[in-house]
Structure 1
Amino acid sequence: MPLVSSNYNPPLFFKNGHLATIYCGLFRKVNGIVQKRERLSLFDGDFLDLDWSDSIVPSNKLVILLHGLEGDGQRPYITGSAKLFNQNGYNACAVNYRGCSGETNKRYRSYHSGVTEDLKEVIDHILKTKDYSEIYIKGFSLGGNLVLKYLGEEETVPKEIRGAVAVSAPCNLHSSCQQLLTFKNILYAIRFKGNLIDKLRQKQVLFPELITDSDIKKIKTLKDFDDIYTSRAHNFKDALDYYTQCSSLQFLPNIEVPSLIINAQDDSFLGSECYPFSEVEQNPNLYLETPKYGGHVGFWGKNNITYTERRALDFFNELGF
């Protein structure tokens, strides 16, 4: 499909990409949502925690929500999405990746931008234990890449999955990493790296022979973290091999489920390769919207409902049966 036009036009303050990103990431609050946690045991003995919230009316529709790097099921962009969907006839399942629900996971491995096998287990679990005729997936940042990769690499996607939305998706992971290593993103990179190293030290207690103090001291950048931990823990040669294998860009031509990508033009985390114009033009199941403003998972909106929350709801409603 051709590029989707966007009418998103926020107030002046939120036309600054960094301010939009920071406000929605650090200052936005979402109240009035009740989540119930379910622990899912994985095939390898590890676990995932799923945070469920219900529609205000009985529903056979579900939205699976996937958070970004070092996020969790309680981040405002997750709870805000869940709340709006709940108010409009959808149940919501917010997935906390391994080690992201407040408790260190059991295995040496954790999560990364391409762990679709864990998403498959979540979907299989839902199909076996619930009765939903319509399932939609909405992913943010890392989660956006994850859902696009999943849809494009699977030969057969369950018929219940009717659509997907990817917000601020780093479709080319190497391009996004290069942006995060630039000076304009230094504060974000420091915050991400600090959180990742804190978790790595917690995991070091369980696996001291695999994670040494010497290794941790070598981590100066986010790429170093992927070279020293992500690639080793998940069987990649190095960070570049991880970025190459897990970027969703190469899987976009194969997607057969209607999918909308919303990447703001002022998103400082995304390089030019993260805007898949040609791939979208060649696949009738893909839609790409590139608002001029929005930042990274920002998209401020009136009444504490972001633009992408309303946009995803409208997109899924249009696909509904």
Structure 2
Amino acid sequence: MATNRPASVSDSPARLDTSRCPVPAWLPGGHVQTLYGAFCAQHPTIPFIRERVDTPDGDFVDLDWCGPGLDAHTRPNGETTPHDSSLVGTAACRWMEPADWPQLPADARALILFHGLEGSSLSPYMQAIAHAFRRQGWVVVAAHFRSCSGVPNRMARAYYSGDSAEIAFMLDHVRSRLPQAAWHAAGISLGGNALLKHLGESGHAMQGLRAAAAVSVPMNLAAGGRRLSDTFWGRQLYSRYFLRSIRHKIYGKAQEFPGSVDVTRTQRMRSLREFDDLYTAPMHGYRNALDYWTRAASLPLLPDIRVPTLILNARNDPFIPEASLPGSRDASADVLLHQPYQGGHASFVTGIFPGHLNWLPKRLQQFFETGQ
């Protein structure tokens, strides 16, 4: 019998997994789990070697590499090198040299990571994932969106949740560095939305990527934007935290590019909606925040994904309303939707006190190795 379902709904349903993340009882609720994971949970640290890549529009992105054959504290000629002064305050210790590339195994398993809003290779979730995969012999690249590597980018624009073209550019670049590697990709929060958008836009044309994962992703950007802008905790806690670093960056943009940003208005911002209205939307080709949230969302593109993809969202994520999460009919059969009831946002703390961030990288490894 014919149905009247919208064309955007997949005819081959995604798999749905609601198995639990074993969050300890001493971390009750999504807010506590999110904040503890971001600021308190134990996680290993890993140093990187940085590569700066010029973009086609005259800007640059910074990629932090680690993997077999690379030593962040030793140059290819065997000389021990101190932490490069230009990289102080970052997770990178030195710059990549031409002689470093032949040290990497050409046929390695490889993972590129895309961080969330105001994240970097220093973010706990990035460090935990990179460390776990590097220990298993993977090459790992922590990709930075523009302005997030600790150095201002060259243009008035910065980065945004729907920048699938930037994802494509960075994926193409790392694949050109190691064309025989088995490449995988994982994006967290904002980076996950941009990655999913790219996968959906590419569809069957997506090549050179074995599998992908997206973690704590606000695929319905409007629902997530309202949660962070209109609720008490969204405005008073999370928006304030993000806007603290955002204001500093915007002030720098205004100084370097006079007239590009209304500094007076940005200093009065109290929510992420106001930031997206004043800067993100007009700077990146959208009319306003709502237009940006609508057109940059990855949710409508999930039925078009043709790469094995894990989408992991805790149902108690304080950034993302549970009702906005996709169901099995909202994505293609190549997608596995894992939606545990506990975990918070980009956190998933487990273990006895004081807890750790080991569960998330293990979950990603399981999917990449088994598809489950």
TM interval, shorter chain, is over 0.9
CA–CA distance in structure 2, aligned partners of residues 270 and 224 of structure 1: 18
Q: Pick from 226, 248, 251: which aligns with 1:198?
A: 248
SS of equivalent to 1:28: coil
CA distance in structure 1 between the partners assigned to 2:327 and 2:27 by the alignment? 25
Q: Does 1:290 align with 2:344?
A: no
Partner of 1:251: 301
**Corresponding residue for residue 94 of structure 2:** none
Give how far 1:319 is off.
Answer: 4.8
Greater helix fraction, Structure 1 or Structure 2: 1
Change (3 A) 1:138 1:212: same
Structure 1: gaps spanning 5 or more residues: none
Q: Aligned residue for 2:370? A: 318
Deviates more, 1:251-260 or 1:49-58: 49-58
Distance in 2 between residues matched to 1:154 and 1:288, nearest whole Å = 20
d(CA) in 2 for partners of 1:55, 1:15: 39
- Find out whether 1:184 has 2:236 as its counterpart: no
Report the TM-score, using the length of structure 2 for normalisation: 0.81
Q: Which amino acid aligns with 1:304?
A: H
What is the CA-CA distance between 1:212 and the residue it aligns to?
Answer: 2.8
Could you say which residue in structure 2 is the equivalent of 1:230?
A: 280
Listed one character per residue, the Cα deviations across residues 97-154 of structure 1 (whole Å, up to 9, x for unaligned) are 1000111111111001011111111111122222333111111111111111110011
The counterpart of 2:59, out of the listed 46, 62, 74, is 46
Could you tell which deviates more after superposition, 8-17 or 173-182? 8-17
CA distance in 1, matches of 2:49, 2:288: 38
Q: Does 1:306 align with 2:358?
A: yes
2:32 equivalent to 1:19? yes
For the 8 Å contact 1:264–1:292, the answer to whether it is kept is yes
Tell me what 1:121 maps to.
169
Q: Distance in 1 between matches of 2:245 and 2:367?
A: 34
**Alpha-carbon distance, 1:156 to partner:** 4.6
**Could you report, residue by residue, the CA deviation over 1:270-301 in whole angstroms, capped at 9, with x for unpaired residues?**
02453100445x52111111111100011013
**What residue is the counterpart of 1:3 in the other structure?**
16
Of the structure 1 ranges 226-235 and 51-60, higher mean CA displacement relative to structure 2 is found in 51-60
Whether the aligned pair in 1 keeps the contact of 2:227 and 2:321 (CA below 8 Å) is yes
Q: Aligned letter for 2:32?
A: L
Measure, in 1, the Cα distance between the counterparts of 2:240 and 2:300: 29
AA matched with 2:147 = G
* 1:242 alignment partner in structure 2: 292
- Deviation, 1:158, is 4.3
Q: Would the alpha carbon gap of residues 184 and 217 (structure 1) be closer, same or farther in structure 2, given more than 3 Å must change?
A: closer
Q: CA RMSD in A?
A: 2.0
Distance 1:215 1:7, change over 3 A: closer
CA distance in 2, matches of 1:217, 1:82: 35
Q: Cα deviation per residue 1:59-111 (whole Å; 9 max; x = unaligned)?
A: 52111101110111111100110111111131110011100011111111100
Give TM-score scaled by structure 1 length.
Answer: 0.93
The letter of the residue matching 2:245 is N
User: Partners of 2:285 and 2:279 in 1: how far apart?
Assistant: 10
Distance 2:28 2:214 in 1: 21
The alpha-carbon distance between structure 1 residues 231 and 247, as it changes in their structure 2 partners (threshold 3 A), is same
Deviation at 1:30, TM superposition (A): 3.5
Find the aligned partners of 1:92 and 1:114 in 2 and give their Cα distance: 23
Q: How far has the Cα of 1:217 moved from its partner?
A: 3.9
Instruction: Write the distance in 1 (CA, Å) between the matches of 2:196 and 2:329.
Output: 12
One-letter amino acid of the counterpart of residue 316, structure 1: F
Say whether residues 1:96 and 2:144 are aligned partners. yes
- For the pair 1:37 / 2:85, whether they are aligned, the reply is no
User: What is the letter of the counterpart of residue 127 of structure 1?
Assistant: R
Per-residue CA distance 1:147-206 (angstroms, 9 max, x = gap): 111100114544320111111110100100111120133211111122211110011111
Contact 2:220 2:299 in 1 (8 A): yes
Give the aligned partner of residue 110 of structure 1.
Answer: 158
Rounded to whole Å, the distance in 2 between the matches of 1:33 and 1:221 is 33
Structure 2: gaps spanning 5 or more residues: 1-13, 70-103
**Quick check: 1:55–1:87 contact (8 Å CA) kept in 2?**
no
Which range moves more in the overlay, 309-318 or 205-214? 205-214
How far apart in 2 are the matches of 1:11 and 1:213?
A: 44
Report how far residue 9 of structure 1 moved.
Answer: 2.1
Rounded to whole Å, the distance in 2 between the matches of 1:203 and 1:273 is 37
Structure number, greater radius of gyration: 2
Within 1, Cα distance between the matches of 2:110 and 2:225? 32
Q: What SS does the corresponding residue of 2:16 show, helix, strand or coil?
A: coil
Q: Contact (CA 8 Å) 1:168, 1:262: kept in 2 or not?
A: yes
